[in-house]
Structure 1
Amino acid sequence: MSSVKEKIEKIKGIIADTALSCGKKPEDVLLIAVTKKKSMETVKEAVQCGAGNFGENYIQEATSKIDIIGKEKACWHFIGHLQTNKAGIAVKYFEYIHTVDSFKLAKEIDRQAKAIDKIQKILLQVNISKEKTKSGIDAEKIFELVRQIHTFENISIQGLMCMPPYFEEPERSRPFFRTLLKIRNDINTCQFLNVSLNHLSMGMSNDFKVAIEEGSTMVRIGTSLFGERS
């Protein structure tokens, strides 16, 4: 058994145990293997070892991998900052875009998706910690963004995404995850047309268990599967 396979099975086991401990089904939490800066061989091995969802941060790096590995055995998630002028490439290659944080970007994604007759699944990134170094829309502005884009015909708003500050102690991330859950629930209560936010993309290698306890449906795991980035 390869070390990657062992790590994938270990993480899936922790996800399942954590989900069950808080009354959820293991299959309700998606493991996204974050493969930025990882070799083609590593990604191929992860596919063979049962990782079906992959997160990439950089358009150029990702497209070269997707061109070779394809989309039949892998579902691709864009989880990095997306420039508006790269939206068309992202729409062509990715099933999910997790990092939509402006009307301008959402409008361009909708336009590009319409051009290829696609309904693009997106998540809205919220800068839950108000860190200037991180992308994402302010929590106070998220309702207005949903109000502006919920009628776009070629995007499907699937949920919210956040990246809290890094803490050595995972428990310190809990308030940020809890806040995103509340925002998601409040948006759903508003009953916007065509908006039912089922997903929360939150939790990484150091804090994904806490994230699941607070409602995460997508955890983005890189280091625990593949080691530190070189």
Structure 2
Amino acid sequence: MRVVDVNRILGPVPVGDVPSRDVPGLLSELDWLAIDAACVVHSHALYYDPVTPADVPEHPRMTSVPVVVPGPLGAPVPADGRLVRMCPAEHRYALAGPHGLQLARELAERNITVLLGWESTSPGEIHRLATEVPTLRIVLINTGYRALRELADLMDTHAELRFDTASLCGHLQVEWMANRYGAHRVLFGTGAPETDDAGPRFQLDHLELSVQDVELIAGGNILELLG
């Protein structure tokens, strides 16, 4: 089973001094938990400046996830990108505003998948974005176990919505979502180092799902999205 963390941060973070502040530290954390690869956003782009971000060094186990910002003051979409992150709350723009929708349409046309933090926007804005641009592939990350009803409402309505397992830790919640919506819409993610990585990794090994479904969640789904 190939395990790929779709939701990982590289670089210093406000929560404290973490091993993943550099590449060797991040790789050691992946090794510790038997995670083969990770989609990595740099903390500089996430918390500070997405327009002139610190580069994520090239490494066969890391896929760089740029932070894109719509509008004339924004950060453009990389020419070869397959996965990007949008952070409306952190970088102060309207997810479903005119510039946000223009960017979303560009991403959809180029078959680029978007990581979108649950606490970076609202269910209403997610619904509006997914309604206006129904072909945009969105992976909702860090949804949290308390958001299950709101998440289910959105998943029932929008076929291109997916979610990660970073903080969906309620008893059998991942299994319930996978059985209702299909394992192809569930991706393994940790949100580390902001959130715990050992919990989601342990959960992955103990999901009460078929081997095929677990393999999709563990890495198959994100590898397909990345092409």
**Which of 11, 19, 32 lines up with 2:7 in the alignment?**
32
Work out the CA distance in 1 between the residues paired with 2:188 and 2:86.
13
> Is 1:102 aligned with 2:96?
yes
Give the partner amino acid of 1:97.
Answer: V
Is the alpha carbon distance of 1:44 and 1:63 closer, same or farther for their aligned partners in structure 2, counting shifts above 3 Å?
A: farther
User: 1:149-228 residue pairs with structure 2 within 5 A?
Assistant: 149-150=133-134, 157-163=136-142, 173-188=144-159, 196-197=160-161, 199-204=162-167, 208=169, 212-213=174-175, 215=177, 216-223=186-193, 224-225=196-197
User: CA contact under 8 A between 1:87 and 1:112: conserved in structure 2?
Assistant: no
Count of aligned positions: 162
CA deviations 1:117-155 (Å, max 9, x no partner) are x432124555xxxxxxx521x3234333223223xxxxx
Is the alpha carbon distance of 1:34 and 1:212 closer, same or farther for their aligned partners in structure 2, counting shifts above 3 Å?
A: farther
User: 1:108-119 residue pairs with structure 2 within 5 A?
Assistant: 108=103, 110-111=105-106, 118-119=110-111
* TM-score normalized by the length of structure 2: 0.51
Give the partner amino acid of 1:108.
Answer: L
- Give % identity: 7
User: CA contact under 8 A between 2:139 and 2:164: conserved in structure 1?
Assistant: yes
Give the partner amino acid of 2:140.
Answer: M
Work out the CA distance in 2 between the residues paired with 1:180 and 1:113.
21
Give the partner amino acid of 1:142.
Answer: I
Is the alpha carbon distance of 1:181 and 1:98 closer, same or farther for their aligned partners in structure 2, counting shifts above 3 Å?
A: farther
User: 1:78-97 residue pairs with structure 2 within 5 A?
Assistant: 78=66, 82-84=68-70, 85-88=73-76, 90-92=77-79, 94-97=81-84
Structure 1 unmatched ranges of 5 or more? 1-25, 127-133, 151-155, 165-172, 189-195
1:122 counterpart residue number: 114
Is the alpha carbon distance of 1:122 and 1:106 closer, same or farther for their aligned partners in structure 2, counting shifts above 3 Å?
A: farther
CA deviations 1:13-54 (Å, max 9, x no partner) are xxxxxxxxxxxxx77985533324211332354577744123
- C-alpha deviation, 1:162, in angstroms: 4.8
1:146 counterpart residue number: 130
> Is 1:55 aligned with 2:40?
yes
CA deviations 1:95-116 (Å, max 9, x no partner) are 32243633423423655897xx
Is the alpha carbon distance of 1:174 and 1:43 closer, same or farther for their aligned partners in structure 2, counting shifts above 3 Å?
A: closer
* TM-score normalized by the length of structure 1: 0.50
1:73 counterpart residue number: 61
Judging by fraction of residues, say which structure has more helix.
Answer: 1
Work out the CA distance in 2 between the residues paired with 1:162 and 1:52.
17
Residue aligned with 1:87, SS? coil
